[in-house]
């Protein structure tokens, strides 16, 4: 269990983390979402006792990090994939870490095996690919078999297979009853990995909720309709109170009516339907809607840029 209470961190006049309060319960994967620069990493560093908060507190199982009796046995943190000396072998890196918390050396081989690095344990970690570095970092978090785990952007830069591996790894840890807190700016990935979400923007809490609830909140529910009779259908739809969105050939996005209502309209008007698909808002849509005003560095007008963004 991780508890952040009124956590605040300032750098000069800039407030990186602003009065942040949330909880990360055990047995679930809690995703920590926010745009780049929203204070996710700073928050995680404060939980891990690396940065001192200017106000508020971050507690692990009710205790500040510095009061933990055997930190590695209580918390595993992967905040930086390359937090090892490049000249040291993977095994040596884990050995010195194990020694700090009196963890037996055989654990080093166990965790190397868990992350699939046994065969390269004797190689210099500096030669590792990003994916292997991430795995070494994960092995380090597991050394003390801790109940609380933190991962900062663990899938950044990984290939699809690596991403999938991390997803299963995180879900497996939560299934064992551990507290898993994982930050990401990749929303689609969080949709697959997380049970709960803590969403922040500009260092402030936007929402703390379940993934399902988060998507539902967005309230944007539409139906995609493909029909060769679009002109006639369109007037029938607007007549029934629907709003029509983007058109693309025979396809149109309809808001304000359910798929069933649209189907009934087609039946009564003898109109052809080639496709009728309800679109639930994606996590991404919900995220964009909620963090729209909280993105710190927004590109200004992109006129002339390749693939210039359309104005909403």
Residues in the site for another protein, rule: CB under 8 A? 1, 25-27, 45, 48-52, 61, 65-66, 68-75, 77, 79-80, 82-89, 92, 95-97, 99-102, 140, 145-148, 176-179
The CB-of-116 to another protein minimum distance in angstroms stands at 21
Q: CB 84: neighbour CB atoms within 10 A?
A: 23
Nearer to another protein, 148 or 199 (CB): 148
Nearer to another protein, 92 or 282 (CB): 92
Given a contact cutoff of 8 angstroms between Cβ atoms, the answer to whether 86 and 95 are in contact is no
Best CA proximity match to 44, nearest among 125, 171, 150: 150
- For residue 118, what are its two tokens? 């046994």
Nearer to another protein, 5 or 217 (CB): 5
CA torsion through residues 251, 253, 256, 261, sign: positive
Nearer to another protein, 83 or 232 (CB): 83
The CB-of-185 to another protein minimum distance in angstroms stands at 21
Nearer to another protein, 48 or 288 (CB): 48
The CB-of-47 to another protein minimum distance in angstroms stands at 10
Nearer to another protein, 176 or 221 (CB): 176
The CB-of-255 to another protein minimum distance in angstroms stands at 43
Nearer to another protein, 144 or 230 (CB): 144
Q: CB 177: neighbour CB atoms within 10 A?
A: 10
The CB-of-234 to another protein minimum distance in angstroms stands at 55
The CB-of-289 to another protein minimum distance in angstroms stands at 33
- Which residues fall within 8 angstroms of residue 81, CB to CB, at 6 or more apart? 130, 133, 134, 137, 154, 156
The CB-of-228 to another protein minimum distance in angstroms stands at 56
Given a contact cutoff of 8 angstroms between Cβ atoms, the answer to whether 181 and 30 are in contact is yes
């Amino acid at each position: 269990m991780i508890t952040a209470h009124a956590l605040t961190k300032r750098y000069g006049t800039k407030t990186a983390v602003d009065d942040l309060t949330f909880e990360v319960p055990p047995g679930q994967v809690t995703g920590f979402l926010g745009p780049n620069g929203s204070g996710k990493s700073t928050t995680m560093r404060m939980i891990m006792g690396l940065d001192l908060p200017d106000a508020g507190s971050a507690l692990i199982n009710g205790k500040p990090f510095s009061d933990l009796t055997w930190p590695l046995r209580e918390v595993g943190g992967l905040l930086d994939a390359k937090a090892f000396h490049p000249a040291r072998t993977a095994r040596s890196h884990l050995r010195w870490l194990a020694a700090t918390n009196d963890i037996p050396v055989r654990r080093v081989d166990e965790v190397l095996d868990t992350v699939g690095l046994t065969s390269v344990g004797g190689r210099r970690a500096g030669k590792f690919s990003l994916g292997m570095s991430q795995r070494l970092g994960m092995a380090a978090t597991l050394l003390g078999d801790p109940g609380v785990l933190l991962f900062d952007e663990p899938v950044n830069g990984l290939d699809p297979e690596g991403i999938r591996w991390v997803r299963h790894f995180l879900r497996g840890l939560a299934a064992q009853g551990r507290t898993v807190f994982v930050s990401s700016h990749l929303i689609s990935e969080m949709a697959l990995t997380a049970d709960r979400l803590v969403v922040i923007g500009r260092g402030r809490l936007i929402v703390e909720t379940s993934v399902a609830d988060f998507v539902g909140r967005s309230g944007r529910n539409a139906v995609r309709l493909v029909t060769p009779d679009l002109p006639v259908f369109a007037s029938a739809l607007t007549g029934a109170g629907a709003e029509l969105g983007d058109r693309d050939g025979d396809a149109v996005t309809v808001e304000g009516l359910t798929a069933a209502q649209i189907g009934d309209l087609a039946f009564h008007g003898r109109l052809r339907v080639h496709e009728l698909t309800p679109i639930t808002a994606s996590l991404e849509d919900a995220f964009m809607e909620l963090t729209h005003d909280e993105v710190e560095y927004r590109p200004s007008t992109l006129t002339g840029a390749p693939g210039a963004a359309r104005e909403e």
